[in-house]
Chain A
Amino acid sequence: MILVRGGRLIDPASGTDAPRDLLVDGGTVAGIEEPGIIRPEAANEVIEAEGLAILPGLADVHVHLREPGFEYKETIASGTRAAAAGGVTSVCCMPNTRPVNDCGAVTRFIVERAAADGAVNVFPIGAATKGSEGDGLSDIGELVGSGCVAVSDDGRPIVSPAVMRRVLEYSRIFDIPVVNHCEDLGLSAGGVMNEGKTASALGLRGIPGASEEIMARRDIALAELTGARLHVAHVSTAGAVRAVREAKARGVRVTAETCPHYFLLTDEAVGRYNTNAKMNPPLRSAEDRRAVREGLADGTIDAICTDHAPHQADEKEVEFDRAPFGIVGLETLLPLSLVLWREGVMPLMDVVRRLTQTPAEIMKLDRGRLAPGLPADLALVDLNAEYRVDASMFHGKTRNTPFDGWTVRGRVERTLVGGVTVYRRGRE
């Protein structure tokens, strides 16, 4: 038995934000009580959480662990260590591995590797179509049976509306979300950053915001048609926020996520061809950034995720056009999200909710909240600690972040998964 004592519990699911002691027994939460009620003698280990916030472990529903196939970028072991260091106790990993996770064998490989080497819980997302090629459906039943919690063709949007319709219809058997990267490839063809004055000045091909909105609206119409669950990945534009907001008001079963870079940065961060500011969807305009913040505040956007996408420095140190899309995010997710609270966009409780409860609910994980009988996945956080992001100290394999050198507040001190400490700052 472990007693976590003296902390401030912030658990959005129960609406708790108060001093609480937490008793952990055999990997699950055994009790949550006001300070002093649980006697220390009841525990054989006491974790002092004085001055710290106790959060449910974060659930990141959009992560690239790169294994199998791209182990030089990241492995299940390294990616989950990065997660642990970021207070993230559950990750949903995208299927764009090699081979693509489009069958039970690959899913089982990931699940087994995660059980053996993983520091945190790993929930695979299977490919919606075979090879993520956008044609025939993958064996979705087999994927779900092997442990997948959703399907997606990840960075390759399902181009054919007919195929997307069938994926959505078929997903109803399992009531899992279909995650789509909303991008009209015809409109964005060849684009490497947001279309706008920065792209024009740099002579880079632009991806207009409309390419995201058009695909989001198509998918929403299909979700409405089929009654299936749509999850819109990494919302970056005012248009997509508007589309999701309207759909929710009509009762369409749609959820949405965004990432810290979309509510903190704009396309100006590309500066002089900074490939660590290149991701897809791209960083947008100040107006889009404002809309994403509003979407988070009013609940249109349900979850904050990372789209953690590791790439090695030599892959990024090339001509901007040729650099791969993607940045890492697991180790900066929490402090960057807390900016929303500090800047008055939304209350702390809601920021924590979009990092824990809502993403877990979207993927139907029995996590993201702390209550007796649930897994003891938690993050102990010093909300006020200020520090500089130092990418060279990351636990993941790569350093591709535009936030290197930023001064942030909110530091993860300790992370527990199933009652086991998987990260403790300074004791790695």
Chain B
Amino acid sequence: MSFHGPHLLGIRDLSKTDIGEILDAAESFRAVLDRDIKKVPTLRGKTIVNLFFEPSTRTRTSFELAGKRLSADVVNFSQSTSSVVKGETLIDTARTIEAMPAEILVIRHPHSGAAELLARHVSASVINAGDGMHEHPTQALLDLYTVREALRRVEGLRIAIVGDVLHSRVARSDILAFKTMGASVVVCGPPTLLPPGLAEWGADVTVRIEEALRDADVVIALRMQMERQNAGFVPSLNEYAVLYGLTRERIDRARPGLLVMHPGPINRGVEIAPEVADSAASLILNQVANGMAVRMAVLYLVAGGASA
């Protein structure tokens, strides 16, 4: 394994080589998933704990199935059933679970930096399954995988990311991931939902979706949450849909062959029109299937790769 340390905390820590290795491993596991018997003994005897402090169905299920298909024992620990409500700190909770013992902790947490905090205090490997508004590295890796699978390359492509970038850990990880792999990235959204300093990350920034789509090979629409309307970031979801929604007309006016992705769950008719989500240009379901292969690769590599 060549990525630094025993953890996967963020794309920020990964080199181009690291990412290439993960994607290559994912490709092998993708082949496993197409077999009749979708299970390998790679992580037999290892314990993976999914520590989910935030509601999540798809990411948790994806990690759970990934672990099971590697023959690991997988335990789910979610906030509602935990002692977190009794005031136990994250570190104490994690140490308790680790003592059971577990080799890999997969954490989803509402606060940015929670995965880093955990990694500093436990000896198990920590995989960040999304921390606050910070990073969601496995989502970015599966996005890379999906683009590479569809277009046979990532380098030189133009990726547009549209929507609520301010609150999006997916956007942060995607910008870093696509830039690292040699793509160019254009970020688009209403100024109220664009974080300051974006340009310094090497992404182009625009507030006009037509401009973002003009040269794009792939567009990633971000989920637009109802609470952003209530908090006054946008006047209404309706206006958001009018100004920034991925509609049939906008796709038709963009470069032919533009592919559409979305980390899910999608709000049909808000950030993406139903006919776009269900069109041939949509890779949304490929993302889901690839997610499991990428997570198998990450679990495998974090557990020690070939030596596991």
Residues of A in contact with B (beta carbons under 8 Å apart)? 195-206, 272-273, 314, 317-322
Q: Which of B170-197 contact A (CB under 8 A)?
A: 172, 195-197
How extensive is the interface on chain B, given as a class?
20 to 34
Option from A197, A202, A205, A314 in Cβ contact (under 8 Å) with B113: A202
- Identify 17 new A-B residue pairs, CB closer than 8 A, beyond the known A317-B89, A317-B117: A195-B196, A197-B201, A200-B197, A202-B112, A202-B113, A202-B134, A204-B112, A204-B132, A204-B134, A273-B112, A317-B121, A319-B109, A319-B112, A320-B112, A320-B113, A320-B117, A321-B132
Contact present for A319 and B117 (CB under 8 Å):
yes
Given contacts A319-B90, A321-B111, contact A203 B132 (CB under 8 A): yes
A272 touches B113 (CB 8 A): yes
Q: A318-B90, A319-B111 are in contact. Are A200 and B198 (CB under 8 A)?
A: yes
Which of A200, A206, A272 contacts B116 (CB under 8 A)? A272
CA distance A282 to B93 in the complex (A): 29
Question: Given known contacts A317-B91, A319-B90, A321-B132, is B112 in contact with A203 (CB within 8 Å)?
Answer: yes
Which A residues are in CB contact (< 8 Å) with B117?
273, 317-320
Whether B133 sits at the interface, judged by CB under 8 Å, is yes
Instruction: Look across to chain B and name the residue whose beta carbon is closest to the beta carbon of A272.
Output: B116
B200 beta carbon closer than 8 Å to chain A: yes
B196 to chain A, nearest CB (A): 6
Given A273-B116, A314-B89, A318-B117; A197-B196 close (CB under 8 Å): yes
Given A196-B196, A203-B135, the answer on whether A322 and B111 have CB atoms closer than 8 Å is: yes
CB-based contact A320/B196 at 8 Å = no
Interface residues in B83-131 by Cβ distance below 8 A to A read: 89-91, 109, 111-114, 116-117, 121, 131
Interchain CB contact under 8 A, B197 and A319: no
Q: Assuming the A-B contacts A195-B196, A206-B196, A317-B91, are A201 and B116 also in contact, with contact meaning beta carbons closer than 8 angstroms in the complex?
A: no
B169 close to chain A: CB less than 8 A: yes
Could you tell me the distance between the alpha carbons of A322 and B117 in the complex, rounded to whole angstroms? 12
Chain A residues, Cβ within 8 Å of B196: 195-197, 199-200, 206
Measured CA separation A298–B264 after assembly (Å): 55
Inter-chain contact A201/B197, CB cutoff 8 Å: yes
Are A203 and B91 closer than 8 Å at their CB atoms?
no
Cβ B116 vs Cβ A197 within 8 A: no
Q: Do A197 and B200 touch (CB < 8 A)?
A: yes
A199–B131 Cα distance when bound, in Å, is 14
Q: Is B195 touching A319 in the complex (CB atoms < 8 A)?
A: no
Of all chain B residues, the one with the shortest Cβ separation from A318 is: B89
In the bound complex, residues from chain A placing their C-beta under 8 Å from that of B198 are 200
Q: Which residues of A contact B134 (CB under 8 A)?
A: 202-204
Q: List 26 A-B contacts (CB under 8 A).
A: A195-B196, A197-B197, A198-B197, A199-B196, A199-B197, A201-B172, A201-B201, A203-B112, A203-B113, A203-B169, A204-B112, A204-B113, A204-B132, A204-B134, A206-B196, A272-B113, A272-B116, A314-B89, A317-B91, A318-B90, A319-B90, A320-B112, A321-B111, A321-B112, A321-B113, A321-B132
For residue A155, give the distance in angstroms from its CB to the closest CB of chain B. Answer: 21
Interfacial chain B residues near A206, Cβ < 8 Å: 196
B169 CB to nearest A CB, Å: 6
Residues in B with CB closer than 8 Å to A321 are 111-113, 132
